[in-house]
């Protein structure tokens, strides 16, 4: 099958820029900077080099045909008003955020899960983004970043999935707790790449303001939480380094598995009961990958299982449901802060 040749955005560089994350790259000969892309602000100076998870990515102009490989990255691009530059999305766990639904309907969905490399290339992209490094792998993903680079297509991995130049979701392990600053970094960098920096600044300020407002809703001190993402047999719960731990810390509660360094370790119900959380945060996933992915299935299991049901939180139905995307490191994390704060405030003390 023949695919159109991808647009070349200029040479890729492996140079790591330690002084700052976003700078214009120099040239040995004079280079005439292209004018701003449609909808651009004419602020970003091109060529632009971005140091992204240990890789230098150079842009000669704002991308015009971007593919986003998962929901988190897609919703950031849509929030920046970039639907007209998107030619494909993939890997959805939940319905799109309501305020983005109209724009999202204009963008082709290549696959509900990971698309094939050929499907991505068939859109003739000039930029590919992802929230999780698993998409930049051969096995179970789309293709390594080097393979995209061979065809002149720059790639971008969310800083929320990067530590010391390694992808956490792509096979690494987080050694430091996630901070929301890495999400703000992603928004700022993407906005600069697309020459819409003021939109990025406005989005960051909106998220900061919403987070500050949400944390005044409830006094969560003394509240202990367990985040159950999926699986009734060996439940996946939130450890102490990922986005759910960040949710707990933001609202002032304590994650009972905060001492576990994995982001989403599989555990036993005996271990959950032993730690005796006062509230269970239940993942409401729009999928059927594991038993108990959906909220109703989780609630039914907690009502019937003799071990899990022995917890006070289960007996008293002290639950706060969150969408899967709201427990992932994306703009939906702030939705999660708002829902968690409101949910805790509504529970009897």
Query: What's the pLDDT tens digit per position in 22-67?
Result: 333 333 333 333 344 556 899 999 999 999 999 999 999 999 999 9
Q: Is the pLDDT of residue 12 over 50?
A: no
Q: Is the pLDDT of residue 20 over 90?
A: no
Q: Is the pLDDT of residue 216 over 70?
A: yes
pTM: 0.85
Structural domains of the chain, ranges and CATH numbers in brackets: 22-209 (3.40.50.1980), 219-346 (3.40.50.1980)
Q: What is the structure's pLDDT at 37?
A: 56
Q: How far apart are CA 5 and CA 126, in angstroms?
A: 10
For 168, phi and psi rounded to 5 degrees? -70, -50
Q: What is the structure's pLDDT at 260?
A: 94
What average pLDDT does this structure show over 254-263?
95
Q: What is the structure's pLDDT at 217?
A: 76
- Which residues touch 238 (CB under 8 Å, ≥6 apart)? 226, 227, 229, 244, 245, 248, 255, 257, 263, 264, 281, 327
Pairing, β 279-284 against β 155-157: unpaired
Q: What is the structure's pLDDT at 38?
A: 59
How does pLDDT run across 266-281, given as a tens digit for each residue? 999 999 999 999 999 9
Tokens encoding 72 = 């988190």
- Which residues touch 271 (CB under 8 Å, ≥6 apart)? none
Burial 232-243 (b: 16+ CB within 10 A, else e): beebbbbbbbbb
Asked which of 59-68, 73-82, 88-97, 191-200 is least confident by mean pLDDT, the reply is 88-97
What average pLDDT does this structure show over 7-11?
36
């Amino acid at each position: 099958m023949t695919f159109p040749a991808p647009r070349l955005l200029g040479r890729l560089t492996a140079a790591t820029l330690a002084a700052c994350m976003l700078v214009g790259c120099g040239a040995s000969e004079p280079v005439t900077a292209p004018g701003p892309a449609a909808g651009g602000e004419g602020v970003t100076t091109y060529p632009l080099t971005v140091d992204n998870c240990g890789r230098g990515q150079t842009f000669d102009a704002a991308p015009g045909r971007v593919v986003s490989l998962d929901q988190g990255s897609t919703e950031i691009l849509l929030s920046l008003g970039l639907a007209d530059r998107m030619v494909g999305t993939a890997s959805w766990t939940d319905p799109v955020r309501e305020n983005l639904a109209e724009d999202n309907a204009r963008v082709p969905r290549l696959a509900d899960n990971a698309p094939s490399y050929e499907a991505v290339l068939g859109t003739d992209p000039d930029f590919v983004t992802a929230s999780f490094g698993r998409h930049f792998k051969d096995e179970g993903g789309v293709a390594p970043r080097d393979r995209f680079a061979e065809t002149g297509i720059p790639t971008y991995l969310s800083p929320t999935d990067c530590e010391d130049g390694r992808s956490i979701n792509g096979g690494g392990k987080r050694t430091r707790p996630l901070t929301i600053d890495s999400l703000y970094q992603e928004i700022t960098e993407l906005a600069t790449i697309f020459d819409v920096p003021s939109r990025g600044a406005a989005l960051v300020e909106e998220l900061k303001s919403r987070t500050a407002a949400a944390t005044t809703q409830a006094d969560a001190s003394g509240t202990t939480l367990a985040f159950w993402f999926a699986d009734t047999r060996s439940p996946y719960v939130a450890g102490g380094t990922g986005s759910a731990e960040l949710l707990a810390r933001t609202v002032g509660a304590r994650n009972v598995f905060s001492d576990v360094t994995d982001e989403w370790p599989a555990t036993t119900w005996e271990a959950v009961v032993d730690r005796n959380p006062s509230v269970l945060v239940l993942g409401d996933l729009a999928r059927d990958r594991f038993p108990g992915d959906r909220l109703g299935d989780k609630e039914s299991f907690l009502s019937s299982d003799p071990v899990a049901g022995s917890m006070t939180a289960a007996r008293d139905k002290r639950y706060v449901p969150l969408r899967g995307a709201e427990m992932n490191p994306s703009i939906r994390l702030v939705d999660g802060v708002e829902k968690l704060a409101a949910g805790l405030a509504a529970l009897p003390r």
